Amino acid sequence: MAKPAKRITHRKYKELPIIVVENHHEVIPFIYKAIGSKYLPLEKNSLIHLDSHPDLLIPYDMDAKTVFSKYDLFDNISIENWILPAAYAGHFNKIVWLKPPWSNQIKEGLHSFLIGEETWSNGIRVTCSEPYFLSDALWAPENEMSNKREVDLEVFTLGKVVEENASDNFADLGRMIRNHVEEDGTFVLDIDLDFFSTRNPFLSLYEKASVYNRLTRLYQFPKNLSIDLDCICAGRKKQLDDLQSFCKHLAAHGNLQDLPPDLKSSPYLPGVRALLREIETHYPNTDIDWEEVNNAGCTCDDDGLPHHVTSRQDITKMIDVSLCGLLASLPYPPSMITISRSSADNYCPPEDVDFIQESVIKVLKEKYSPCKITLDYQERYYSDTLPSHDVPGPPLSEEAPAEPAHAPTKSPTQPTEPTPPSKPVSCDSSH
């Protein structure tokens, strides 16, 4: 039997790069730079991801081929959806989400699924039927996908040391990680500082009108796994589309008059009316940010966003025990380390973020030396521009082509340009 082909030998940094960004998706240009400069393989990398949030959504309306134009991709991704587009491009095929005890968006264990291009929408979809993906209508059946790739996602709880009578199982953690790291030792260690302490920033949105509680009911994911998954996704997409349209109408007109016919007959109109009435009562003569209201609503799925502001004593315990235990469990040093502060949008408490960052970096410097720390967020000033520098290494033009991935060949029957049709579904979309 022929042996599988080995991956091209990658280069190694003389100093381990530790990149600190503000918004989590800003790590992707640095990861792509490492791929282009051959410090990471082009395909089948592993990502070990510490975060209170999975960040495993996908921009719903983004054409799949966008991932093969990196600057277009950078413009389309955000904090919640930066990992799986890179997996569709082939750069990651093994993802380990290490979550704190207060995060429950995806159940623990191994989830093996396909990611590919949905043939009728040209969007990126997955075959994983976890509610996390269903609630954003990102599921699709395998027979309606092309350019498919296999992805292994392992979810594991770390940080139990802050719970009463609990501890982290580092033996199981080490075995699990060794199953997901290639023998050549190339993987990215990614740390969101909100892993240690996190807020749900939408809880205080127009708080006097109890907006978040009302949105939780209005945007609730009507999961019913006894019906067809196609119907679940179609119903959820209709729900999210209607509610977004209501918010756009309110942003433009300030009232619910002159609604288009489809919104007049929407089953969500009574709930939107009640929400508007409460907001007007408690916030008269206020310019309401309806886009932010819709953004808050879209976080209301099965469990909503985690909220756990951790004491500094417990933060220190998580770093000294859980993080250090993780580093000791890694079979090799990571190829690079990326860190997200997530404080500008209040996910990581701004009053604690510098304390957490300094403590985490201190541990990393003690473990991995020599290393080079890049504080990207200080240069960005939280702007939307791309970094003015790259991770350590030669300029991209001297090492590799500008694009780190090659687009898969489209099926001859597939249109070359994206089309916006709605998939016909033979079920009641109100489910």
Handedness of CA 408, 37, 174, 25 (dihedral sign): negative
For residue 303, pLDDT over 50 is answered with yes
Residues 6+ apart with CB under 8 A from 391: 13, 17, 19, 30, 33, 34, 37, 39, 336, 374
CATH of region 16-200+307-384: 3.40.800
Please report, for the chain, the start and end positions of each structural domain, with discontinuous segments joined by +.
16-200+307-384, 207-299
Please give the pLDDT value at position 9: 60
pLDDT band at 282 (very low <50, low <70, confident <90, very high): very high
* CB distance 103 to 195 below 8 Å: no
Please give the pLDDT value at position 7: 56
Please give the pLDDT value at position 348: 98
The CA distances from residue 12 to 34, 80, 326, in Å, are 10, 30, 22
Phi, psi at residue 118, to the nearest 5°? -70, 125
Give mean pLDDT, residues 334-355.
97
Give mean pLDDT, residues 409-420.
37
For the chain, the distance separating the N- and C-terminal CA atoms, rounded to the nearest angstrom, is 51
pLDDT band at 183 (very low <50, low <70, confident <90, very high): confident
315 vs 413, residue with greater confidence: 315
The CA distances from residue 312 to 308, 315, 342, in Å, are 12, 5, 17
Please give the pLDDT value at position 354: 97
Phi, psi at residue 264, to the nearest 5°? -60, -30
Beta bridge partner(s), residue 50: 98, 191
pLDDT band at 6 (very low <50, low <70, confident <90, very high): low
Would you put residue 56 in left (φ > 0), alpha (ψ -120 to 50) or beta? alpha
* CB distance 185 to 7 below 8 Å: no
pLDDT band at 182 (very low <50, low <70, confident <90, very high): confident
How far is residue 172's CA from residue 176's CA, in Å, rounded to a whole number? 6
Give mean pLDDT, residues 326-332.
95
For residue 234, pLDDT over 50 is answered with yes
Please give the pLDDT value at position 226: 66
- To the nearest whole number, what is the mean pLDDT of the chain? 88
Give mean pLDDT, residues 26-37.
96
Residue 298's identity, in one-letter code, is C
* CB distance 370 to 327 below 8 Å: no
Please give the pLDDT value at position 187: 95
How far is residue 196's CA from residue 388's CA, in Å, rounded to a whole number? 29
How far is residue 318's CA from residue 323's CA, in Å, rounded to a whole number? 6
pLDDT band at 26 (very low <50, low <70, confident <90, very high): very high
Written as six digits, the tokens of 189 are 């260690």
Q: Which of 147, 66, 148 is nearest to 414 (CA)?
A: 147
**pLDDT tens figures, 93-127:** 999 999 999 999 999 999 999 999 999 999 999 99
* CB distance 19 to 391 below 8 Å: yes
How far is residue 89's CA from residue 99's CA, in Å, rounded to a whole number? 25
**pLDDT tens figures, 49-94:** 999 999 999 999 999 999 999 999 999 999 999 999 999 999 999 9
pLDDT band at 5 (very low <50, low <70, confident <90, very high): low
For residue 336, pLDDT over 60 is answered with yes
